[in-house]
Amino acid sequence: MSAKEVKTGIHFINGDEACCEGALAAGCRFFAGYPITPATEVAESMSRRLPEIGGIYIQMEDEIASMAAILGASWGGVKSMTSTSGPGFSLMMENIGLGICTETPCVVCNVQRAGPSTGLPTLVAQGDMMQARWGSHGHYEIIALCPSSPQEMFDFTVRAFNLSEYYRLPVIILADETIGHMTERVVIPPEEEIEIVNRRKPAVSREEYLPYEADADGIAPMANCGDGYRIHVTGLTHDERGYPAMDAKAQEKMVTRLVDKIRNNRDKIITTKNLFLDDAEVVVVSYGISARSSMQAVQDARREGIKAGLIKLDTVWPFPEDLMRGVAAQSKAMIMAEINGGQMVLELERAACGACPVRLVSNYGGAILHPALILGSISKAAKGKL
Amino acid sequence: MITAKTAKNLPPHPMDSLLRTERIPHIWCPGCGIGTVFSAVIHSVKNSGLDPNNIAMVSGIGCTGRMAGYIRLDSFHTTHGRALPFATGLKLAKPDTKIIVVSGDGDLLAIGGNHFIHAARRNMDLTVICVNNLNYGMTGGQQGPSTPLGAKTTTTVNGSPEEPFNFCYLAAACGATYVARWTAMQVRSLRSSISEALDKRGFSFVEVITPCPSSFGRRNRMGTALEMLKFYHGRSVIRSDIDPRDASMDIDREIVVGKFVDIERPTFMDHYEKVNRLNSPQWRAMHPDQKAR
């Protein structure tokens, strides 16, 4: 009667459920959350599954508490996550910053809906891209992954945990309502085939251990609460001992490391899926559900004889600017397809830096992008009409 | 005066093993009541007989929040008001760790008020110590949820127009299993209450009325720190085991101190285990030896 931690097999489940299964497969054993459409099914799945395998599900009083609780659980040595959508994501921002500053591994799944404010609770959007990047105050780097299918909800959730454990920060899954609620085939591999990364433990004694002294790759080994290291963890600017250090020099040193541990490893973090890129003249860049509309549009364009290509961003943050710079230099035009007023297109423009025209295909949310809309933009770009 | 330089030459203190001595001197103002509470917490930890590696402290922001930075335990200085939900996650991840939450009045019951009532309702197994100095000290003395009606602060120069919370009554109403209040002058009683709170399963709460001579005392012309201590002590009346609603907290009339609640109630984890044992065959398969509590 024992339940399986990894539900190896072929399933027909929605994206939110796939996210839950990915988390459990990655070793997540603590979930704190608050109901919100369209992410509720992540919490519901967790509430059913976690007790089966000895984990803890707790419904907190709000999303502020949920984010705080997963940080606490992570310091207790348990892999933890929460899920939410726009309004809840806004409430989580302060404690995401605490997670960044204290270098706490955890995962936040934001199943995006249309905003601002309560917006369209049941309908799709991709309007939280910049909030995921800059939503908490101060300067930092973040990792955010954008799944385009329930299968990727599973795969990327596993990867989100691995990245969070390795790089020691909250990793964000930027899903969207359509992907969260879409039911598709999800293949969960055998347990031994799923790569699992666990946080690096200190290799020295309590007397020698400096909680925030990084190894050569910029990552500091992490002692959990109760390991006997008697750590101090603070959201104040701190030194290698973890003690508050209230001056510009300490700030420079700490933030440089927080930023560099991501920036200097971005080749290892960033993944994209590229289609027809070798000879593409017009390149569409997209992510999440919009990448699927884009894929249809690019295939339709090819049938019409247009040399179109696609870059699907698996990792939106850090943004693959080196790739974009190279592609822009060889392209007639690049098009960003996204469901917001133009957020990632700003990054694309920055990376392209005038090497080719960059255009946006978008709406403000409530409906996915029709492939015909993107195809229209591709056709125009191919004819040099932009 | 002790400075960072002279502190290095001080003889060892019996509590040094629980102090981050390299961080002394601390940031608290002369005469602040937090030191008394901090000392009482450390004594209670030492006398508890618990392995210090199995005790953690969680704090929020403000003067009291800084306690976590001076105690040599696993210690977490989190965000303003969020010590309780952070501690909730930590406790559930490490159920065998004793967790002490230290928090100021504003941290715990203004910005953190929602977390307070829910942590008490769930009966999270946490020991919560509230240092109530009647104002926001760290930011220079503003009005808060404990500021007495009419009291002067930097944001209520004509007197506070709000009635304050009675924290002990609130804690009891929300389901706390242990509730006590003392002034910072009543050190022996305070130590014994903190020790009892540490022993208690469930949400235990100890409120300490402390002088903030730099801000609250100065703006309300209460004199020196010692005079404030004596003033609060003079207003205090010991009435243990009374109905918490009668445990008045009024610095102009009387500050009722004592132990108001000491009950048994299943914790969140007790209920979590029970419902899953009853209704989940998978849980029973995982925990064949688990008995009902």
**Mutation choice for B interface testing from A232, A236, A238, A241 by most B CBs within 10 A:** A232
Which residues are bridge partners to A234 per DSSP? B77
Chosen for mutation from B72, B88, B284 (greatest number of chain A CBs closer than 10 Å) is B88
Closest to B10 in 3D by CA, of B38, B36, B18, B2: B2
Residue B127 and residue B98 in contact, taking contact as beta carbons nearer than 8 Å: yes
Q: Is the pLDDT score of B3 beyond 80?
A: no
| pLDDT tens sequence across B171-214 | 999 999 999 999 999 999 999 999 999 999 999 999 999 999 99
Q: Closest chain A residue to B68 measured between Cα atoms?
A: A232
CA pair distance B124, A372, nearest whole angstrom: 55
Q: Does B285 touch chain A (CB under 8 A)?
A: yes
Residue from A39, A32, A45, A58 nearest A3 by CA: A45
Which residue type does A188 have?
Answer: I
Distance, in Å, from the CA atom of B88 to the CA atom of A58, rounded to the nearest integer, reads 10
CB A87 within 8 A of CB A117: yes
Q: Mean of the pLDDT values across residues A321-325?
A: 98
> What is the mean predicted confidence (pLDDT) over B84-110?
98
User: How wide is the angle at C-alpha A183 spanned by C-alphas A177 and A187, nearest 5°?
Assistant: 120
Partner-chain contact A75 B282, CB within 8 Å: no
| pLDDT tens profile A139-184 | 999 999 999 999 999 999 999 999 999 999 999 999 999 999 999 9
What was the ipTM of the complex prediction?
0.97
B160 lies in some domain: yes
Would you call B153 an interface residue with chain A, using a CB distance cutoff of 8 Å?
A: no
Axis-axis angle for helices A63-75, B83-93 (nearest 10): 40
Residue closest to A172 by CA, chosen among A196, A149, A146, A151: A146
**Who has greater pLDDT, A289 or B241?**
A289
pLDDT of residue B203: 98
Q: Quick one: tokens of B78?
A: 């989190």
Same domain, B105 and B75: yes
Say if residue A1's pLDDT is above 80: no
In a domain, B73, yes or no: yes
Residue among A176, A82, A95, A83 at smallest CA distance from A135: A95
* Same-domain pairing of B271 and B232: no
* CB-count burial class (<10 Å; 0-12, 13-18, 19+) for B279: exposed
Instruction: Count up the domains in chain A and report the number.
Output: 2
> A336 - beta bridge partners?
A285, A360
Question: Is A223 inside any structural domain?
Answer: no
Q: A30-33 and A56-59 as β-strands: parallel, antiparallel, unpaired?
A: parallel
Do B258 and B164 lie in one domain? The reply is yes
Rounded to the nearest angstrom, the minimum Cα separation between A113 and chain B is 26
Are residues A187 and A303 located together in one domain of the fold? Answer: no
- Domain residue limits at B18: 13-262
In a domain, A201, yes or no: no
Residues B138 and B30 in one domain: yes
Rg of the Cα atoms in chain B: 19
Q: Which of A3, A52, A235 sits opposite B79 (nearest CB)?
A: A235
**B70/A contact by beta carbon, under 8 A:** no
Question: What three-state secondary structure class fits A59?
Answer: strand
Q: What CATH number corresponds to the domain at position A85?
A: 3.40.50.970
A304 and A181 fall within a common domain: no
Within this chain, do residues B76 and B112 fall inside the same structural domain, yes or no? yes
Which tokens go with A74?
């992570």
- CB atoms A226 and B94 under 8 Å: yes
Q: Which of A61, A103, A136, A237 to mutate to test the interface with B (most CBs of B within 10 A)?
A: A61
Q: Are residues B240 and B287 in the same domain?
A: no
Cβ-Cβ pairs closer than 8 A, A with B, add up to 156
pLDDT in tens, A16-63: 999 999 999 999 999 999 999 999 999 999 999 999 999 999 999 999
| Rounded-to-integer distance, Cα B205 and Cα B200, Å | 10
Mean per-residue pLDDT for A344-354? 98
Question: Are both B161 and B293 inside the same structural domain?
Answer: no
- Kindly determine whether residue A2 and residue B68, on different chains, have CB atoms separated by under 8 Å: no
State the pLDDT confidence band at B151, using cuts at 50, 70 and 90.
very high
Residue B259: pLDDT above 90?
yes
Q: Are residues A64 and A162 in the same domain?
A: yes
Whether the CB of B230 is below 8 Å from some CB of chain A: the reply is no
Looking at the domain assignment, is residue B7 inside a domain? no
Contacting residues of A for B69, CB less than 8 Å apart: 232, 234, 243-244
| CATH code for the domain in which residue B173 is found | 3.40.50.970
Task: Quote the tokens at residue A330.
Answer: 């060889």
CB A149 within 8 A of CB A290: no
Choosing from A162, A193, A224, the residue where a domain stops is: A193
Q: What is the pLDDT of residue B291?
A: 58
Using alpha carbons, list the distances in angstroms from residue A43 to A32, B114, B124, B200.
8, 21, 21, 32
Looking at the structure, tell me whether residues B201 and B222 fall in a common domain: yes
DSSP-assigned states of every residue in A249-305:
HHHHHHHHHHHHHHHTTHHHH--EEEES-TT-SEEEEE-HHHHHHHHHHHHHHHHTT
CB-based contact B226:B207 (threshold 8 Å): no
Average pLDDT, chain A: 97
Q: Answer yes or no: is A99 within a domain.
A: yes
B140 pLDDT higher than 80:
yes
pLDDT of residue A284: 98
- Rg over alpha carbons for chain A, rounded to the nearest Å, is 21
pLDDT at B7: 67
Residue A365 lies in a domain: yes
Residue A74 lies in a domain: yes
Strand extents, DSSP E, chain B = 55-59, 74-77, 98-104, 127-132, 178-183, 204-209, 236-238, 255-262
Among all residues of chain A, which has the CA nearest to that of B118?
A61
Residue ending a domain, choose from A149, A171, A193: A193
Whether B145 maps to a domain, the answer reads yes
Report yes or no on B1 lying in a domain. Answer: no
CB-based contacts of B278, cutoff 8 Å, min separation 6: none
pLDDT tens figures, A182-213: 999 999 999 999 999 999 999 999 999 999 99
Instruction: Judge: A243–B23 Cβ closer than 8 Å, yes or no.
Output: yes
> Do B176 and B287 reside in the same domain of the chain?
no
**Element (DSSP H or E) covering residue A104:** none
Q: Which residues in chain B have their CB less than 8 angstroms from residue A240's CB? A: none
Please determine, for residue B285, whether its predicted confidence score (pLDDT) is greater than 90. Answer: no
Q: Could you tell me the two tokens for A13?
A: 């489940």
Report yes or no: B274 at the A interface, CB cutoff 8 Å: no
Task: Write down the pLDDT at residue A73.
Answer: 98
Q: What is the pLDDT of residues A68-83, one digit of tens each?
A: 999 999 999 999 999 9
Residues A179 and A282 in one domain: no
Same domain, B17 and B49: yes
Q: Which residues in chain A touch residue B82, judged by CB atoms under 8 angstroms apart?
A: 64-65, 68, 94-95, 98
Cβ separation A235–B78 shorter than 8 A: yes
Instruction: Say how many domains are in chain B.
Output: 2
The band of B290, judged by pLDDT with boundaries at 50, 70 and 90, is low
Q: What is the CATH number of the domain that holds A282?
A: 3.40.50.920
**Alpha carbon of A229: minimum distance to chain B alpha carbons (Å):** 7
Do residue B258 and residue B271 come from a single domain? no
Residue B48 lies in a domain: yes
**pLDDT for position B12:** 87
| Residue B26 DSSP label | -
* Amino acid A238: pLDDT: 98
Task: For residues B82 and B111, state if they share a domain.
Answer: yes
At how many degrees (to 10) do helices A248-263 and A86-102 cross?
A: 110
Q: In this complex, do B89 and A225 lie within 8 Å of one another by their Cβ atoms?
A: no
Look at residue A263 and tell me if it is in a domain.
no
A32 and A147, same domain (yes or no)? yes
The residue-averaged pLDDT of A261-270 equals: 97
What pLDDT, on a 0 to 100 scale, did the predictor assign at position A4? Answer: 86
Burial call A192-224: b when 16+ CB within 10 Å, e when fewer? eebeebebeebeeeeeebebbbbeeebbbbbbb
pLDDT at B2 over 80: no
Of B124, B105, B109, B103, residue with least CA distance to B41? B103
Q: Flag whether A334 is in a domain.
A: yes
Residue B2 domain flag: no
Minimal CA separation from B191 to chain A, in Å:
23
Neighbours of B30 (CB within 10 A): 10
Q: What is the pLDDT of residue A182?
A: 98
Question: Which domain range does residue A169 map to?
Answer: 9-193
Selecting from A69, A234, A235 the residue whose C-beta is nearest the C-beta of B85 gives A69
pLDDT recorded at residue B293: 45
* Identity at A141, one-letter amino acid code: E
| Distance of alpha carbon A17 from alpha carbon A67, whole angstroms | 20
Residue A240 lies in a domain: no
Question: Are the Cβ atoms of B282 and A233 closer than 8 angstroms?
Answer: no
Does some domain include residue B152?
A: yes
DSSP 8-class letter at B62: S
Above pLDDT 70, what percent of chain A? 99
Q: Read off the pLDDT of each residue in B51-79 and give the average, rounded to a whole number.
A: 98
Residues of chain A contacting residue B276, judged by C-beta atoms under 8 Å apart: 51
**A162 shares a domain with A26:** yes
Q: Do strands A315-317 and A143-145 pair parallel, antiparallel, or not at all (unpaired)?
A: antiparallel
